[in-house]
Amino acid sequence: MKEQPRTRVCDYIIVGAGPAGVFAAMELLKLHPERKVLVIERGKRVENRFCPASKAGKCIGCKPYCNIMNGFSGAGAFSDGKLSLFNPEDDDFYVGGNLHKYAGVNVTKRLITETDKMYLKFGADTKLQGVDNPGEISKIRKTAEIAGLDLVNIPIRHLGTDRAHLIYQKIENHLEEMGAEILFETEVKDLLIEDGKIHGVIYKEKKGEESEALAETVIIAVGRVGANWLLKICEKHAIKTEPGILDVGIRYELPDKVMKRINDLLYEGKFIGKPAPYNDKVRTFCQNPSGFVTTEVYDEGIILVNGHSLKDTKSENTNLAILVSMNLKDMPNPMEYSRNIARNMNALAGGNVIVQRLGDIMIGKRTWPDELSRNSVIPTLKSASAGDLSLAMPYRELMDILGFIEMMDKVAPGFANADNLLYGPELKFYSNKLELSTSLETSIHGLYAIGDGCGLTRGLMMASASGVYVARQVK
């Protein structure tokens, strides 16, 4: 006889076990140890996550989901774990997202301090980057100002990609010891909503039937990798959304020696500028000294670039993202704008990402593979196809990026050298924000949203802190 699908009944359901979902679950169980917390995650346990690209030399498109982006600790497991903290004297958070706009600045500072202590408890490095030598940092800031750039200097705790994995494994064990039920390789397909209230979710285990889990509180924490799914669910159930900012850009790779001063003093220099003629906001993001450029695979097989650095294995290059913030409020679905850029770029590269020399872009020619093999900056992402980014990157964003590179050359001479490499596309899928109350409740009663997927956060620390915050808000 065929087994009937089970209906699970619990107090809280969390969809997605990225940093946001995981920290929400830990805090809920700390506050209510007697209650039942169910976490549903479509990827694998953290100890079973492995990216074959390091052995195969290229992305093999893991099925059903990319191991870099899915599984316990989400995009955090393979990220190099730069936890961005805050400057106590600032009354704004320049990086990481917008939790403070809902929770307030002081509460967010307290949440980040508490969350940082939790990371320390699980083994994060006690050393903070970007706090020593304020005199030298202020000299870099002055040079940046003359070049028309702002330098945002925020203390950073660096876990290291290989160490982040171990830290999250400890957190996974701890969460299970606390009594959380975690369903791995299980995907939430839909939400059960009636009369404006959440009642639970419909999920499907890897080889199982569709089943229901019921709860009066559901927390959505699906990350950027689930942002497109979430948008469709919002359309289906008329959950209110609002357009957000779009980040379109490239990953830039250049010799460590050009970035040495910034790397040594800040580890990650967060520079912001508004190059002419468009004056769009352009910024550096996720800088990885002696790091490696990587890929990540999204739904529909969209491949994007990213980067990380390892604690023990080093390259001779620094990589960082250069992102242009676009505000396309008139467009009903701005995420489609960036997805189309990615589709075109991937199609040009035969289902891959593109790499091009800066010098070639400047003289209007593509980069050929043999030119890349003679280039003085050796690409750390071996699988990227040499090609022509300008065929798919919109003119405006390309001009913004090239203008910004010239400005940065005044801060770090050599930043605009012809042999430096641009990889594309690097995009951030958080352009469709959910309308949220100050307690992060959506327009559906009992349905909450946290982390990157709903447009609230943009980094490990604030995503984790949003989990702690929501756990204190729900009944």
Q: Which stretches of the chain bind ligand FAD, using CB under 6 A?
A: 15-21, 40-43, 68, 70-71, 74-76, 78-82, 84, 187-188, 221-226, 229, 286, 294, 296, 306, 308, 451-453, 458-461, 463
Q: In the complex with ligand FAD, which residue's Cβ is closer, 407 or 421?
A: 421
| Least gap, CB of 1 to ligand FAD (angstroms) | 29
Bridge partners (DSSP) of residue 247 are 325, 428
| Least gap, CB of 435 to ligand FAD (angstroms) | 18
Q: In the complex with ligand FAD, which residue's Cβ is closer, 81 or 243?
A: 81
Residue 310 in tokens: 């390892």
Q: In the complex with ligand FAD, which residue's Cβ is closer, 182 or 358?
A: 182
| Least gap, CB of 226 to ligand FAD (angstroms) | 3
Q: What number of helices (H) and strands (E) belong to the chain?
A: 13, 24
Q: Report yes or no: 307 and 292 within 8 Å, Cβ to Cβ.
A: yes
| Least gap, CB of 396 to ligand FAD (angstroms) | 26
Work out whether strand 210-214 and strand 217-220 pair parallel, antiparallel, or are unpaired: unpaired
Q: In the complex with ligand FAD, which residue's Cβ is closer, 460 or 468?
A: 460
Q: In the complex with ligand FAD, which residue's Cβ is closer, 49 or 357?
A: 49
Bridge partners (DSSP) of residue 14 are 39, 219
| Least gap, CB of 310 to ligand FAD (angstroms) | 12
CA distance 94 to 143: 20
Q: Report yes or no: 295 and 223 within 8 Å, Cβ to Cβ.
A: no
Q: Report yes or no: 221 and 20 within 8 Å, Cβ to Cβ.
A: yes
Work out whether strand 197-205 and strand 210-214 pair parallel, antiparallel, or are unpaired: antiparallel
Environment class of residue 56 by beta-carbon count within 10 Å: exposed (0-12), middle (13-18) or buried (19+)? exposed
The amino acid occupying position 76 is G
Q: ∠ CA(272), CA(164), CA(171), 5° rounding?
A: 120
Q: In the complex with ligand FAD, which residue's Cβ is closer, 39 or 392?
A: 39
| Least gap, CB of 373 to ligand FAD (angstroms) | 26
| Least gap, CB of 459 to ligand FAD (angstroms) | 3
For the beta sheet containing 447-449, the strands, ordered from the edge strand earlier in sequence to the opposite edge, are 181-183, 37-40, 12-15, 217-220, 447-449
CA distance 346 to 227: 20
Residue 76 in tokens: 């955090």
Q: In the complex with ligand FAD, which residue's Cβ is closer, 102 or 416?
A: 102
